[in-house]
Amino acid sequence: MTMTQASGTAVQERVEHVDVLIVGAGISGIGAAYHLREQFPGKSLVVLDALESHGGTWWTHRYPGVRSDSDLFTFGYRFKPWRGASIATSEEILHYLDEVIAENGLDAHIRYQHRITAATWSTNDRRWTVAVARGDTGEELTYTTDFLWMCQGYYRHAQGYTPQWPGIDQFQGQVVHPQTWPDDLDYAGKRVVVIGSGATAATLIPAIAETAGHVTMLQRSPTFFYARPKTHELATTLRALDIPEEWTHEILRRTYIAELNELTRISAESPDDARTFLIESMRPLLPPGIDIDKHFNPTYRPWQQRIAVLPDGDMFAALREGKASVVTDTIETFTEKGIRLASGAELEADVVVTATGFDLSVFGDISFTVDGQPVDWAQTVTYRGLMFTGLPNLAYVFGYFRHSWTLRADLISDFVCRLLRRMEKQGATMVVPALRDEDAGMQLGPWVDPENFNPGYLARSMHLMPKQGDREPWRHLHEYAEEREMLPAADLDDGTLVYR
């Protein structure tokens, strides 16, 4: 039943209660819903998403060529075999998610165009009250829940990050951010400059180079690229032998995890060797005579930022064929015709694509309150990078940077289910991480140590995020190799989780 306010906004009178409320229907939220249904079929749940459909990242990003940059054997869930090539398009990923939803009856639990604006915890009531604005009807709804499972990702979906360059207003061409790519953008035969050289630029450039007049990748500093086969030959072999897809999925998962563990280990232990390996793997694929040091040898060590995977070396092929080129320089100003660089050179352009990254969204831009006190996330300390001091009955899925995000989403789902079971057994209605006496004065550091990983979108907003400590369980680990053992073995009764 709804009432109408003086303002004309419809307000729902009835409050709906669910045992678990999942924020976000991206790959994390769909995975969380699956695990909850599997492990607690009796619990009521709802998944709320601000967008018109599921998929999150894969629904939002529609620029040409959009695809995964990690393999789908590990970016896919552990419970549903991936049957395609290792690197997948967004349509293929969305289709996979469609199947997960349909096969597990999750549709009935997901509500789209439901943006959560506020979440308020009451210790007296032992529940969260969640305010929701409906995008389609304009209604304001209220839900209550015992447990809030944050699967809202880490960046704002509505728009990406574009630096404010001087002169951008006088540019006569079109400026486009990949996150809000216009359906009707016509770049055929045109001069396109792509600013940035991360995974997005690496995806976009070969896709548009086919039809554009010429594509220039303009970067301030280089990125590590790694050309990998789009299809793993082991998968081809196993499929040719008619091995069950479940086995192929597990074998390929282990293969990719082992390969990446090795590259991560070498990058940490002997970064110079990792650098040499990556540079030498690029060299034969690049146009002869290109200045590799200037354009392809980053100042940071391998894996301090994400290594951009090139399926079958596609972007290098565009460079070799002369359809694309790379410029390493700093933007001085936009001009009417293009971009003037610090070196004095001018790049003329019809279209400029700003592949300059994301705007970090701190916990879904939801305003949080606990017992009447507004939550300042920067004052909280994370418990294992998934819960937070002072935030009862709440968990957050933040995946890996180097390994696929979903490996951690699956692990966290198991952890949350184990925690819920532990609470049920004890009759606890509240769990909250709290520092012990021995943790007083503990050294606190940023949510992600910039020495470990430092992309721009994190650096810009790190001061808004929770802190991590210098010991277990207050550290936020980023290695699947460590966490796959540690999380399932985490002692839920070590005194850092307080139950009531």
Ligand X SMILES: Cc1cc2nc3c(=O)[nH]c(=O)nc-3n(C[C@H](O)[C@H](O)[C@H](O)COP(=O)(O)OP(=O)(O)OC[C@H]3O[C@@H](n4cnc5c(N)ncnc54)[C@H](O)[C@@H]3O)c2cc1C
Find the part of the chain contacting ligand X (CB under 6 A) among 44-52, 312-320, 454-462, 467-475: 44-52
Q: 409-438: which residues touch ligand X (CB under 6 A)?
A: none
The verdict on 405 binding ligand X (CB under 6 A) reads yes
Q: Name residue, tokens 């594509």.
A: 215
From the CB of 333, what's the least distance to ligand X, in Å? Answer: 29
From the CB of 486, what's the least distance to ligand X, in Å? Answer: 20
From the CB of 217, what's the least distance to ligand X, in Å? Answer: 17
Q: 128-187: which residues touch ligand X (CB under 6 A)?
A: 151-153, 157
Q: 449-478: which residues touch ligand X (CB under 6 A)?
A: none
Find the part of the chain contacting ligand X (CB under 6 A) among 60-68, 216-224, 312-320, 438-446: 60-68
At 412, the amino acid letter reads: I
Q: Which is nearer to ligand X, 43 or 115 (CB)?
A: 115
The verdict on 85 binding ligand X (CB under 6 A) reads no
The verdict on 66 binding ligand X (CB under 6 A) reads yes
User: Binder to ligand X among 34, 73, 75, 316 (CB under 6 A)?
Assistant: 75
The verdict on 92 binding ligand X (CB under 6 A) reads no
Q: What is the 3-state secondary structure (H, E, C) of the chain?
A: CEEECCCCCEEECCCEEEEEEEECCCHHHHHHHHHHHHHCCCCCEEEECCCCCCCCHHHHCCCCCCECCCCHHHHCCCCCCCCCCCCCEHHHHHHHHHHHHHHCCCHHHEECCEEEEEEEEECCCCEEEEEEEECCCCCEEEEEEEEEEECCCCECCCCCCCCCCCCHHHCCCEEECHHHCCCCCCCECCEEEEECCCHHHHHHHHHHHCCECEEEEEECCCCCEEEECCCCHHHHHHHHCCCCHHHHHHHHHHHHHHHHHHHHHHHHHCHHHHHHHHHHHHHHHCCCCCCHHHHHCCCCCCCCCCCEEEECCHHHHHHHCCCEEEEECCEEEECCCEEEECCCCEEECCEEEECCCCCECHHHHCEEEECCEECCHHHCEEECCCEECCCCCEEECCCCCCCCHHHHHHHHHHHHHHHHHHHHHHCCCCEEECCCHHHCCCCCEECCCCCCCCCHHHHHHHHHCCEECCCCCCCCCCCHHHHHHHHHHCCCCCCCEEEC
User: Binder to ligand X among 397, 416, 419, 431 (CB under 6 A)?
Assistant: 397
From the CB of 347, what's the least distance to ligand X, in Å? Answer: 25
From the CB of 279, what's the least distance to ligand X, in Å? Answer: 23
The verdict on 27 binding ligand X (CB under 6 A) reads yes
User: Binder to ligand X among 34, 46, 47, 56 (CB under 6 A)?
Assistant: 56
The verdict on 28 binding ligand X (CB under 6 A) reads yes
Largest Cα separation within the chain, whole Å, is 71
From the CB of 153, what's the least distance to ligand X, in Å? Answer: 2
Q: Which is nearer to ligand X, 34 or 171 (CB)?
A: 34
Q: Which is nearer to ligand X, 27 or 347 (CB)?
A: 27
The verdict on 399 binding ligand X (CB under 6 A) reads yes
Dist. CA 454–CA 441, nearest whole Å: 26
The verdict on 24 binding ligand X (CB under 6 A) reads yes
The verdict on 68 binding ligand X (CB under 6 A) reads yes
User: Binder to ligand X among 36, 45, 65, 69 (CB under 6 A)?
Assistant: 69
Binding-site size, ligand X (CB under 6 A): 32
The verdict on 364 binding ligand X (CB under 6 A) reads yes
User: Binder to ligand X among 61, 134, 275, 476 (CB under 6 A)?
Assistant: 61
Find the part of the chain contacting ligand X (CB under 6 A) among 326-334, 363-371, 424-432, 466-474: 363-371
Residues forming contacts to ligand X in the complex (CB under 6 A) are: 23-29, 48-51, 56-57, 61, 66, 68-70, 75, 115-116, 151-153, 157, 364-366, 397, 399, 404-405
